[in-house]
Amino acid sequence: MAETQSSDAFVAFERVQKSYDGETLVVKDLNLSLPKGEFLTMLGPSGSGKTTCLMMLAGFETATHGEITLDGRPINNIPPHKRGIGMVFQNYALFPHMTVAENLSFPLEVRKMGKSEREEKVKRALDMVQMGAFGGRRPAQLSGGQQQRIALARALVFEPELVLMDEPLGALDKQLREHMQFEIKRISDSLGITVVYVTHDQTEALTMSDRVAVFNDGRIQQLAPPDVLYESPENSFVAQFIGENNTLEGVVQDIRGDVATVRLDGGEVIDCKPVNVTEPGQRTRVSIRPERVETNKERLSPDAHLLKAEVLEFIYMGDIFRTRLKVAGNEDFVIKTRNAPDQQRLTPGQMIEIGWLAEDCRALDA
């Protein structure tokens, strides 16, 4: 997916490629630009090229081809320490022999800053991550969450305009991770800094980002705000990778305007939105989100298609019910219904009818 470069891009990759062996490209012809102040997440499975892109931007890897610019100037030949970029890693990378305050002071000393100014900036950065009382401790005396806050403060202490984060919350437990997601977003918004964040965790990407670039096989598959990515995936990979998704295989029978009629492999005929199918006879994979499937016919429009389904599993999850069904031959069809007084509790073996709106259902590539 190419993206036209805008003249006001703060960070820009132009036709960037990267190969480690001279043959296989791990990043393929990447065009990407982001404005100042944006929180962009690079999301994708292991080996998709996202971390390599971050490392090229940081200066720890060199692009094999193409140009990377920061605030309008090419940085391909500028060493990492002269790029003025803050970095946060998963392993924190704190100096164990230094106190917290010394760790934060180090990037300021490198920049030849005076002592009183250093102390003032260290104090401000520690307060920002709510760690003002911990300046005298060493990293080994801190919990994982506290060390991560210090790593974040160190990346921010010299007031960079760009901060890169590589899986920074990967080592934290679920509750702390979620807390830190909101914390990082709050700090980045209040400072107005530009953040490029790398993760393979979709929830993290959807929660924190202004836009998400979904990577696979060295290319951006889709670049969009979180809601667009979730509601309107452009291909099967994005639909499967972002959130939970149901797929039904079939063949396109007809396309009229923004409605594609698909005959499923089980024989049922349904209408969908054609996304990357263009003509009758094409194989397609139909995508529908679990929460868009309706079991209450009264909530559906009269022209909605109803499909027969067999209940295979019903799981109570507190705020929602998660039901696994057999639909059109697919035994992994999942629906999510909210736990409400009028919501029917289903039992395995029960036969029901389900339906959805045509615009919630997308005919994607096979």
Residue 341, pLDDT score = 86
Decide if 361 is inside a domain.
Answer: yes
Question: Which residue in the block uniquely carries the two structure tokens 């996202």?
Answer: 50
- Given a cut of 60, is residue 126 above it in pLDDT? yes
- Same domain as 138, residue 205: yes
Mean pLDDT of 192-202: 93
Q: Is the pLDDT of residue 1 over 60?
A: no
- Minimum mean pLDDT among 1-10, 25-34, 309-318: which range? 1-10
Q: What secondary structure letter does DSSP report for 70?
A: E
Q: Which two tokens stand for residue 331?
A: 């035994």
Percent of the chain at pLDDT > 70 equals: 98
6 falls within a domain: no
Nearest alpha carbon to residue 232 among 224, 354, 36: 224
361, containing H or E segment: strand 361-365
Q: Same domain for 22 and 94? A: yes
121 shares its domain with 151: yes
pLDDT, residue 204, reads 92
Q: For the segment 204-241, what is each residue's pLDDT rounded down to a tens digit?
A: 999 999 999 999 999 999 999 999 999 999 999 999 99
User: Region 161-181: what's the mean pLDDT?
Assistant: 87
Q: Using pLDDT thresholds of 50, 70 and 90, give the confidence band for residue 82.
A: confident
Q: What is the pLDDT of residues 328-341, one digit of tens each?
A: 989 999 999 999 88
* In a shared domain, residues 206 and 283: no
54: in domain:
yes
DSSP summary character for residue 132: G
Mark whether 135 and 48 lie in a shared domain: yes
Check which CATH number belongs to the domain holding 199 and give it: 3.40.50.300
Task: Determine the pLDDT at residue 174.
Answer: 85
For residue 4, name the pLDDT band (cuts at 50, 70, 90).
very low
Tokens encoding 193:
């800094």
Pull the structure tokens for residue 341. Answer: 């007084």
CA atoms within 13 A on the CB side of 251: 6
Q: Is residue 195 part of a domain?
A: yes
- Do 182 and 134 sit in the same domain of this protein? yes
Determine the Cα–Cα distance for residues 360 and 338; give it in Å rounded to an integer: 18
In the predicted model, what is the mean pLDDT of residues 349-360?
90
Instruction: Name the pLDDT band for 29 (thresholds 50, 70, 90).
Output: very high
CB contact set of 186 (below 8 Å; sequence gap of 6+) = none
Same domain, yes or no: 227 and 355? no
Task: Show which of 236, 255, 289 is a domain's final residue.
Answer: 236
Q: Is residue 118 scored above 60 in pLDDT?
A: yes
The mean pLDDT of 184-191, rounded to a whole number, is 89
Q: Report the domain count for the chain.
A: 2
The answer to whether position 3 is within a domain reads no
Tokens at 186, concatenated: 């709050």
pLDDT the model gives residue 109? 83
Q: 303 or 94: which carries more pLDDT confidence?
A: 94
What domain range is 142 assigned to? Answer: 11-236
d(CA 212, CA 46): 16
* Residue 6 banded pLDDT, cuts 50, 70, 90: low
Whether 348 has a pLDDT exceeding 70, the answer reads yes
Q: What is the pLDDT of residue 148?
A: 86
- Mean pLDDT of all residues in 5-34: 89
Query: Whole-angstrom Cα distance, residue 113 to residue 151?
Result: 20
pLDDT single digits (tens) 62-72: 999 999 999 99
Whether residue 188 sits in one domain with residue 171: yes
Going by pLDDT thresholds of 50, 70 and 90, the confidence category of residue 2 is: very low
Mean of pLDDT over the chain: 90
CATH classification of the domain holding 275: 2.40.50.140
